[in-house]
Structure formats: C-alpha cells, structure tokens
Amino acid sequence: MIPVTGFEGRSVAILGLGRSGLAAARALRLGGAIPVCWDDNAQARGRAEAEDFDIRDLTRLGAFDDIAWLVVSPGIPHLYPEPNKVVAAAWEAGVPVDNDIGLFFRSLGSGDWDHYDTPPRVIAVTGSNGKSTTSALIHHVLVEAGKPAQLAGNIGRGVLDIDPPVDGEVIVLELSSYQTDLARALTPDVAVFTNLSPDHLDRHGGIGGYFAAKRRLFAEGGPDRAVIGVDENEGRYLANQMGQGAADDRVIRVSADSKLTGPGWNVFARKGYLSEYRKGRQAGSIDLRGITGLPGAHNHQNACAAYAACRTLGLAPRMIEQAFQSFGGLPHRSQTIAEQNGIRFVNDSKATNVDSAEKALRAFPNIRWICGGLQKEGGLGPLLDALGSVKKAYVIGREAAGFALQLEGCEAEVCTTMEQAVARAMEEAEEGDTVLLAPAAASFDQYDNFEQRGEDFTACVKAALAG
C-alpha cells in the first residue's frame, strides 16, 4: 500500500466507502492521518467500522469543523448534474476536495528513491474507448520485457493498494474522466489520450466538460511525454496545445485513420500495419493483422498508443512486437471465447455505447450481431453506416423491439434474452461467420454490470457448444 503523507495527526474525511474509499482510509491511516468515514449505505459503513474507522455523518451541521481534507469516491457527483450535498458542505467550510488519484500522486515518491538507479515512473492512460486494453497491453509488454510493473486505477488494483514501487518499476494507470476531473495532483511521467466520443455527458455537463476532465491529465500534469490519439479534433487540439512546434518529439501523435509522417514523432496504423516515424523517417513497424488479441482498427489504435508509450521507455520495436503476439486481450473487450466449425464467438460486452459498438462491427466480417440493452442518449444513428458486415441482428433487453426498429436496413430478430439470442445466432451461423456480442447499450436493464452480461454470453455459448 502507498501511505498517504502530508496529513499526519489531522482529520481527513472520506465520502464513499467502496473499494477506492476504503483503500484511501487505510492509506491515510498508514501515513499518520485520522480518517473520518461516511457513506449513505449502512452496509458500507459497517465494513469501515469493522476496520475500526471512525464514522461521522458528514451531512450534519458542523461536520467539517475539524476536517483538513475531503476525499470523494469517483462515483459521487461533485459538480454535475449537481454537487453532492457533502461536497457542497466542504466548499462552504473551505475544505479542499480531492480523490484517491490526487492522494496517490502527492504521496508516491519516497526517500528511498534517492538511492534508486532508475526512479519509478508512471504511465497514465485516459480516453473514451480503448484505455483498458491500452493500459493492459502496456503492462503486458513491460512484464514480457522483464521490467517490474504494476497495473492499477480503473483496472486491476486501486491506486493506493499497489505495492511501493521498486528501483526502475513502471506503474501503469487507467484513469477515467471521473478520476481525472477531481484529482488535485496529476503528475504522470507519460500521459496517454486514446480518443474521445460522447459518454458520461450528464456527469460532466456536456461534451466540453467531458473533454476538459480528460485534458486535465495533460494540462495539470505536465508529463515528460504525451501520447495523443489525433483521429478526432479534440486530440488534434490537445496535441497542438502540448507541443512547442511540429518537430517537438515530447508529443507522440497516434492514428488509426491517417498516415503521419511529419517532422515529429508519429505512430500510426494503416491496413493492419503499425509504423513509427521520427523526424520523417521510419523507425519501426509491426504487422498487426495476425495478432488474435488485437482485432480491428480500434485495437490497432490501442496498439499504436501502447507501442508509443513503451518506446518512450526505450523498449525496442522487436521486443514490443514479440510481446504483442502473446497478448490475449481483455475479458469482455473483443475477446474470442470459442471457435468451432469455422464460426468465431466474440465477447465485446464492454461495447456499452454506440462508438465502441461501431468499432467492433468494423473489426469482423459476416457478423451475427447480439445487441441491445439500456440505450444511452443520442440513438443508434451513427451505427447505421457500420452495419454492412452484419448478416443479422439478434436483439436482447427489455426494450428489444424498440431497439430493433432503429436498425434500418438490417434484418433484426427480437430475442429479449441472451440465451435465446445465442441459440438463434448459432442455429443460423455458417462457416466464416462471427457471432459477436457488442450491445451498443448499458447492461442495467437485465444485468448488474457489463461483466455479468459478458459472462452470461460466454456461458450460453459454451453450454450450446458442449450440448
């Protein structure tokens, strides 16, 4: 665990006692602070009490009289659509509001680092889509290269739960907009921006607020290197803001759409080939087409971002390529779960929005598409251009009929349940087809989370294949 320093003998309030909240309380206590905990959920308070943490109702008058700092869990709104009442009370009391990411960055360094040959470094990855795969891929490459590395943040362990880093270690963090938006300290050595598409708009007051939350990782942090996807205007703007000219190789531009061969440092993928250019000359290349764990253009963008981040650490292109070959992908993200009789079964339950589902649909030919669930704002219009490879859609969810009506020009069957959708897709699938779960919707109408939905798909497929 990373002890949180700077609050010795002072009371620090923690709002929200889930995984990150309890970890923050433990790390604060380890660093000498006095954690004061609150959660509206009685069970969550009970877990904190079982660890002998003080419980205080932070909504009551005077609750902040002796509080030096407030740490807020990422799921709790602090500004939009409206501030949580405890956050508002902290503002009124003049108490700084932070989160576990801010605590992590302000507490990471230690006196031991003065004796290290190579100080530990942090690579932080954010963006709308692909940040989990990119983070896991970077970590995988480092491990395969024999480098000490830990993976944490929005994936793997909580940031304060990791082990204190050793000499030369690299900490890879996946950071959501919820995490970057509130952190008072953001100082990664390498910051990665994958892409931007509309998501969590109510939480950030619109697309501008959402992008601003992502941008803080770069603007506040001042990383030594910035790896930036430039396939959207927001990425191009960010790269321009971070650079001091076209040849500034502190900014590495990444694309899965365009050939980038300017005077700076560029990594791009075209037709399945990754290329690295520095100062207008090719410095490395990888054929991505046969890498099972990285199918489709969206994963090629992830590969470019991971490649660029690893190159900033001095890893050779051939070493990175070798590690890519052994990357198995992440559960629920374009994950091949089975192949039989020439039919491939792919679980992309994480495709919870239209943009990520579109990328999945463009990654495979001859698709039997299982889709549907709790729709997000904006409708399915942007998906329609990506339906050319879909042979038929099998729609699940409580509003399956309404979802199916929006799939203009695509044959769709209302199945409602996962079991029925898998059964019908398998009945009709032919050699060369891909049965793809890419819902383009949230899971909460039928499941607790997208992981549970993906596990149900996997179970249905395996049961049907075994039977």
Q: Domain check: are 226 and 353 in the same one?
A: no
Q: Answer yes or no: are the C-beta atoms of 317 and 276 closer than 8 Å.
A: yes
169-195: pLDDT as tens digits = 999 999 999 999 999 999 999 999 999
In a domain, 203, yes or no: yes
Q: Domain check: are 312 and 451 in the same one?
A: no
Which pLDDT score is estimated for 353?
A: 87
Domain boundary at 98, 126, 146, which? 98
Domain boundary at 98, 121, 148, which? 98
Q: Using DSSP, how many helices (H) and how many strands (E) does the chain show?
A: 15, 20
Which of 81-85, 321-325, 352-356 is predicted with the least confidence, judged by mean pLDDT? 352-356
Q: Domain check: are 46 and 115 in the same one?
A: no
For the cut 90, the answer to whether the pLDDT of residue 110 exceeds it is no
Please state, in angstroms and as integers, the Cα–Cα distance from residue 333 to each residue in 199, 286, 386, 392, following that order: 17, 22, 18, 21
Average pLDDT, the chain: 93
How far apart are alpha carbons 121 and 147 in whole angstroms? 12
**pLDDT class of 273 with cuts at 50, 70, 90:** very high
For the cut 90, the answer to whether the pLDDT of residue 98 exceeds it is yes
In a domain, 449, yes or no: yes
Q: Domain check: are 209 and 252 in the same one?
A: yes
In a domain, 384, yes or no: yes
CATH of the domain at 235: 3.40.1190.10
Q: Domain check: are 145 and 268 in the same one?
A: yes
How far apart are alpha carbons 219 and 238 in whole angstroms? 9
Pairing type for strands 434-437 and 367-371 reads parallel
**pLDDT class of 200 with cuts at 50, 70, 90:** confident
Q: Domain check: are 171 and 277 in the same one?
A: yes
Residue list, annotated binding site: 127-133
For the cut 90, the answer to whether the pLDDT of residue 334 exceeds it is no
Which pLDDT score is estimated for 222?
A: 86
In a domain, 436, yes or no: yes
Q: Domain check: are 283 and 355 in the same one?
A: no
Spatial strand order in the sheet of 412-416: 335-340, 343-347, 434-437, 367-371, 390-396, 412-416
Q: Domain check: are 291 and 201 in the same one?
A: yes
Q: Domain check: are 90 and 116 in the same one?
A: no
Domain boundary at 98, 132, 159, which? 98
Residue list, annotated binding site for ATP: 127-133
Q: Domain check: are 48 and 71 in the same one?
A: yes
Count of structural domains within the chain: 3
Q: Domain check: are 344 and 398 in the same one?
A: yes
In a domain, 330, yes or no: no
In a domain, 166, yes or no: yes
CATH of the domain at 73: 3.40.50.720
For the cut 80, the answer to whether the pLDDT of residue 117 exceeds it is yes
Domain that holds residue 265: 108-325
CATH of the domain at 348: 3.90.190.20
In a domain, 216, yes or no: yes
Q: Answer yes or no: are the C-beta atoms of 172 and 204 closer than 8 Å.
A: no
Q: Domain check: are 121 and 217 in the same one?
A: yes
In a domain, 4, yes or no: no
For the cut 90, the answer to whether the pLDDT of residue 80 exceeds it is yes
